Structure formats: C-alpha cells, structure tokens
A and B are shown apart, each in its own frame.
Chain A
Amino acid sequence: MDRRKFLTVSGVSLGAGALYTMAPHLARSAEGAEMARLLGRQNGERPAPFRVFQLSDTHVGWDGALGTSAFERAVEVVNGLAPAPDLVLFTGDLTHDTEKPGEHAVRMRRFQEIAGRLKVPKVYQVPGEHDAGLDGGDLYRNVFGPTSYSFDHKGFHFIALDNVSRAKPEVGAEQRAWLAKDLARFPKTAPIVVFTHRPLFDLRPDWEWFTRDGDEVMAILAPYENVTVLYGHIHREHEQTIGSAKLFAARSLCFAFPDPQGVADKKAIPFDKAEPFKNLGIRQVQAAPGQKGATVKVSEVSLDAREFSGTEGFNQLLKNPSL
C-alpha cells in the first residue's frame, strides 16, 4: 500500500459551510487493523464511512445585514441532508464579542439555541478570537467547555485546537505539549482531523491570518501521514498543502473577505441584497473506508437565495439538493 495515499482529500466547489466524507481504510493492512483495534477498544466504534459538516464564523450578535439568517439557513440545509452527517464542527467565532455586561453570554446562548436545532448526533466547536480573545476564554469555557480536546470517531482521531484564547494569535507551548502527547498513542498512518480557528500557517500575516507558532504545530503533525486541518477565520475558502497535510478553510456565515492575493486592504466583500448569501457557505466532509486507505472528500455547499426580504426573512434553495 502506498502509505502516502492512505487518506486522500478532494474538494469540489459547489459554496454554506463544508461537508466532509471520511473513510478510514484500515483493515487491509496489519498496521491499519491494529489501529482499528486500538480505536475500537477505546470507544467501541469500528471504522466506517461518515460525513462531517464544518460551519464557521457565525458571529452571532454581529450587526451586519444578515444577522443570524445564514447560520439558521445552514442549519436547515444540514438537517435536510440524507443521511444526516455524524458530526458538525464549528471552527470558531461562534459569537461576536461585546463588552456590554451580560450580552456576550446572551449571544453564546443564542448560538447554542440555533446550533441546538441541528439534527446530528454530535456537535463540537472551538473558539475564535471574538469568543475568547478578551477574557482568555473564561466565558467560553463556562458555556461550552474546554477550548481544546480530542476524540475518536469511527477510525478518525479529531483534535480541537485553540489558537485564540491567548493574548497573541498562538497555540502556546503548553497546548503544543498536550498535542504531542495526545498524538503519541497513534501510528503515523492514523487518519487525523485537526479543527481550529486561525490558519496554522502564514496565509496573510498583515491581515492577522496566521498563527505565531503554527510552524511548530505543523512540525508536531508532520510525522503523521494522513492529517486534515479544518479552520475558519478568513471568511473564505482556501486550500493549502503542508507536507502531507491538507488544510481547508470554510466560508463564513455572516460576511466574506476577498481573495487576499493582490489586495492591499482587508475589507469585507460588500453585501449584495440580490445575492445575500453569495460567498458564504458550509463545508461537507465525507469519510469512507476502502481498500487503499482512508478517503476524505471535501465539498462546498452553497446557499442560493431565491427570495430576499428584510422583514420576511430569507427563502433559500440549496443549489445542489442531491447532496
């Protein structure tokens, strides 16, 4: 078996978050079988295909034109999928920060109310700087729990990584040590999904699209051959390869930023009433076991506006209802 192809990732641009299909191909090799046994022993789950939706940057409380409508529509889209995804991952900036006493907690509860409509077995999240930057993540931890953690799911190991709750945009030495320890029990071929908020590389440092110690984090991940990193923050789609790791950014669910290539200033793409959800989205990840290793397929899912009314709300159609 070509171990470098143990897990493959492909992306198709369709545009309201990201849906991923994941397939651990484990049982056909001795090493894979051992990993399947390891994962099965830990949580009783055998490797099996499943789908994951990534939603990002909902910014509940932000005073933009869309409010929470794109977020709420994305929840409807996910709930309309058959079969339902196993997991939904939120990659940060769940809320927009405010210093009005008590208001940030209200926004977090509003996020929970909308996310609670998701008809999926498990929902996980990491904070963005707008959730955890002002208080070091104290309120976030009270509402959502830890800012970094890991879990196994059907042959994949998922790692929530916090690169926002420290004063600077970084993961920090303590969490990097935890990451290395967390990974140490896995073989180098284990399918690993890291979800975090900021890009773990210098995408555009002068737009604060970077993580100061991202190189050190990627060095910890480097020995592992089947790593997928999902992140948000940049409010647009982006794909990057670092070594054998594939990194994907999901679009936002409130406003979009332009392609940073050749653009000097960081300015949001103006809101277009005719196409209110243009450039927003969710991401689908489909995972499936097979004979030649794990497969991860990534596709963008668009929310297409059929009707827009400021008072009546939004009536949206999914561009590709066959998903």
Chain B
Amino acid sequence: MRPQIRLTAALLIVAAAGLTSSGLRAAEEPKVIAITAKRFEFSPKEITLKQGETVRLQLTTEDVTHGFFVKPLGIDEDIAPGKTTTVDVTPKTPGRYTTICDHFCGAGHGNMKMTIVVE
C-alpha cells in the first residue's frame, strides 16, 4: 500500500503545482484597469466594463488623497498617496455611472469625476 500512497501524494503535489501555475492563474484573475487621480481629474476619463465580468481597478494618486465614489456600483474608496488601492467590481446593470472624488481636494473638487460605462 505504501508505494500507492506515495504515488497518490506525488500526484496531489503535481496537481497542486498545476493549480498555481502562471497560466492557470492568469485565466482566473480579473482584467486589471489602472486609474490615476490628480487634482482635479481622473485618467482615463472613461472606462468600459462588461456586465457580469469582474474587473480589478488599481487606483493611484499623483498628488493628494482623493476619493473614488460611485454609489450604484458599491464603490467607495480613498486613494492615498504612495500606495495602490485595489477594488474588484462586477457590474450587474448596464449604464453610465458617474464616479466622483468625494474626498475634498481643493477648489476644483466639485467637478472631479470620470465615467464607468457598463455594457
């Protein structure tokens, strides 16, 4: 029985290695979209997502702390200098969603926004 146990264990190890291989991991991880904030704009100004498809937003700021708020999509983040804020989103309903900075950042803060389009 022992040789059989060792073989099974070896197969499990191989299988586990396969699950963590880069090819398989890439197929499972969501698409990444980088968004940069600076006073008083986001870049890009518009992104397009697909309904039901999970996307990973990587948020950074070039200057001060900004907010990243879009209530219908359940996103409410702060983007602090010197770090990347990551948020996964799986939009359920098609539409155009205005995303605003809700962390006051100066005189032009009130018009700091971008659009997330869900198709």
Contacts and interface: CB of A to CB of B under 8 A. Distances in A.
Chain B contact surface mostly: mixed
Contacts of A208: 100, 102, 110
Contacts of B106: 97, 99, 134
A118 to B, nearest CB: 27
Interface stretch (B42-50, B64-72, B81-89): B64-72
A130 B109 CA distance: 9
Contact of B107 (A130, A164, A167): A130
Contacts of B109: 129, 133
B102 A168 contact: yes
A169 B102 contact: yes
Interface residues of B, number: 20
B104 to A, nearest CB: 3
Interface string A203-216: 00111100000000
B110 A205 contact: no
A99 B107 CA distance: 9
B73 to A, nearest CB: 11
B102, B109, B113: which has the most chain A beta carbons within 10 Å?
B102
Given A97-B107, A208-B110, 12 more contacts: A97-B106, A129-B109, A133-B109, A134-B105, A167-B78, A167-B103, A168-B67, A202-B71, A206-B70, A206-B71, A206-B97, A206-B100
Interface of A: 96-99, 129-130, 133-134, 164, 167-169, 202, 205-208, 264, 266
12 contacts: A96-B107, A98-B107, A133-B104, A134-B105, A134-B106, A164-B104, A167-B78, A168-B102, A168-B103, A206-B97, A206-B99, A208-B110
